[in-house]
A and B are shown apart, each in its own frame.
Chain A
C-alpha cells in the first residue's frame, strides 16, 4: 500500500543529518551543561553553539533565545510570563480568535485569574482585522498576540502591521511562529516582534524541543521554576540532544528554504487547482492568494459529507491528512478557526487539511486527487444531504 504523508503541519520527519548530529549527545557527550567539570563544559559548548546558530538564523542575539519543550510551553510562557510581570501595570491582553489551543486554553485559565482578553476577529480568508485590533487597545493592555501563520488554513498574518500598531501604543507583541518558522524567512531584528515561539519538529527537528525568543528588555515572569538554566528564566536540565538537533534542523531548513518553499507551493497549487476544478461543491479555506498562504497548506471543506469519514477513507488508501471536524478532535464543536472565518457549522464539519512537504511528489499529489474524487463521490452517495441536490453527476 502507498504511504503518502500530507500532514506536515502536524509534524515532520526528523532529518537524518539532524539525527546523526544529535546521537553523540545521547552517548559520549552526555554531560549536564550545568556541571562545572569537563563533561559539563563539553555539553555547554554544544548548547552555546546551538544557541548562536539559531540566533543568527532569525536575526536575534544569542541571549534572546530560551530553550523550551516546544510550542505549547513557549506559548504558555509568553502569556503567563507577561501577565505575571506586568499585572501591576494592566490586566488586559489582545489575541486573535484563531490562535492555537495552546494560546486559547491558556487565555481561558488566565481569565479565571482575573485577566481580561479581547479576541480579535478575522475576515473570511483568516486575516486579522487590524482596525478591530487597534480599537481594542486600552490603557491597561499589556500584550498583543497574533500567530505568524495559521496552522489550519495557512493564512499568513500581517505581522509587520500588527507589530507597528503594538509599537505605536507601547505594548509588547507576541507571535506564535510554530507553523511559519520552517516555511518563511523570519528576521526579528527588522521586526517589531518582542516574543516569538517556535517548535523544532515542524521543521524536521526532534519533538519535545522548542524555543521562545525574548527581546532584550522584555519583562517576563518564569513559567518553570528550578535551577539556573536559561539564565535563571527557565528551570530544568537542558535537553542537549534536542537543542543540538533543533539548531541543525533550522540551519538545514534555512539553507534551502527558498527552493523548498517554492517546490512545496507548486505541489500545493497543483493540488488546489485540480481539487477546485474536478470536485464539485468544495470550498477552499484560507487565502486564495498563494503568497499570503503557507506554502505547504491546502484546506478544503467538502459539502454534504463529514471530515472524519473522509480522513479515514484517505487513511485506508494510504494518505495521511488532518480534519477540522469535531469528530476527529473528540469535541463536539467543529474548528474554531473555520467558524471564525464564517464557514457554517455543517460545512466546517466536512473540512480536511492537506499539508505538503519537500519529500512529496507530483505523482503523490495526483494520486491523492484521484483517490479523493472517488472517496468524495462515494461518501456523497451515502449522504442524506446530497440527494436533495439531485446532482449525482460528475462526482
Chain B
C-alpha cells in the first residue's frame, strides 16, 4: 500500500526529536483520532535553521513528518508558510489517498510552529502543551 519512498522515510526518519532552544512549537491532531504531530523550529534571522518532529501516528504520518521537516530546513519563514501538503505528498511520490490527512497535519504543524514563533517575537505567550484540535 505504501511506495518505497514512504517506507524509506518511515524506516529511517530524519529530524526526530525536539530542537534544543527551539523558538517555535506547533502541535496538531489528537490522540483519539490516532494522529498527533509536534514540530519544533529554530528560526534565526527569519530562516529556519533547524526543525524536528515527534509524531504519534501511522507510517504515513511519520514519513510526512520526516519529509516536511527536511523540506523546511533552510527555508525562510515566508517560504515555509507556502509549503503545502501537496508539495510534501509530491516529495514522497504520493502516499495512498486515505492517508492524505497525514500530510495535511504536517502542513498545519509547521504553520502552527511559525505562528508560535511570531507570537513569541511579539511577546505573546502560548500554552505550549495545548494540542490544537483539528
Contact = CB atoms under 8 A, between A and B. Distances in A.
A123 to B, nearest CB: 22
A252 to B, nearest CB: 34
Residue among A316, A382, A387 with most chain B CB within 10 A = A382
Contacts of A330: 98
Contact of A383 (B13, B56, B98): B56
Interface residues of B, number: 29
B27 interface: yes
Nearest to B56: A383
Given A330-B98, A346-B32, A384 B16 contact: no
Interface stretch (A128-136, A207-215, A301-309): A301-309
A141 B62 CA distance: 49
Interface string B1-30: 010000100110100111000000001000
A142 to B, nearest CB: 37
Interface string A299-334: 000001110110010001000000001111010101
Contacts of A23: none
Contacts, number: 69
A145 B91 CA distance: 50
Interface string A324-356: 011110101010000000001110010000000
A309 B18 CA distance: 20
Nearest to A316: B11
Nearest to A388: B129
B94 interface: no
Given A345-B31, A346-B31, A384 B36 contact: yes
B96 to A, nearest CB: 9
A133 B23 CA distance: 57
Interface in A357-384: 381-384
Contacts of A316: 7, 11
Interface residues of A, number: 25
Interface in A266-307: 304-306
A385 interface: yes
Given A306-B34, A309-B10, A334-B34, A384 B58 contact: no
Contacts of A326: 33-34
Given A326-B34, A327-B34, A384-B27, A306 B54 contact: no
B59 A384 contact: no
A180 to B, nearest CB: 30
B124 to A, nearest CB: 22
B7 A382 contact: no
A230 B96 CA distance: 43
A345 B56 CA distance: 13
A312 B31 contact: no
Nearest to B57: A306
A104 B19 CA distance: 47
A349 B7 contact: no
Contact of B31 (A309, A327, A385): A385
Given A306-B56, A306-B58, A312-B7, A385 B36 contact: yes
Contacts of A325: 34, 58
Interface string B27-55: 10001111111100000000000000011
A385 B31 CA distance: 9
B61 interface: yes
Interface of B: 2, 7, 10-11, 13, 16-18, 27, 31-38, 54-62, 98-99, 129
27 contacts: A304-B56, A306-B56, A306-B58, A308-B59, A309-B58, A309-B62, A312-B2, A316-B11, A326-B33, A326-B34, A327-B57, A327-B99, A328-B58, A332-B33, A345-B32, A345-B34, A349-B31, A381-B17, A382-B54, A382-B55, A382-B62, A383-B55, A383-B56, A384-B37, A384-B38, A385-B56, A387-B54
Interface of A: 304-306, 308-309, 312, 316, 325-328, 330, 332, 334, 344-346, 349, 381-385, 387-388
For the complex of A and B, 7 pairs with smallest distance between CB atoms: A346-B31, A327-B58, A308-B58, A384-B54, A384-B38, A349-B34, A345-B32
Given A312-B59, A330-B98, A383-B54, 14 more contacts: A306-B34, A309-B10, A309-B58, A312-B2, A316-B11, A327-B99, A328-B58, A334-B34, A349-B31, A381-B16, A384-B37, A384-B55, A385-B36, A387-B18
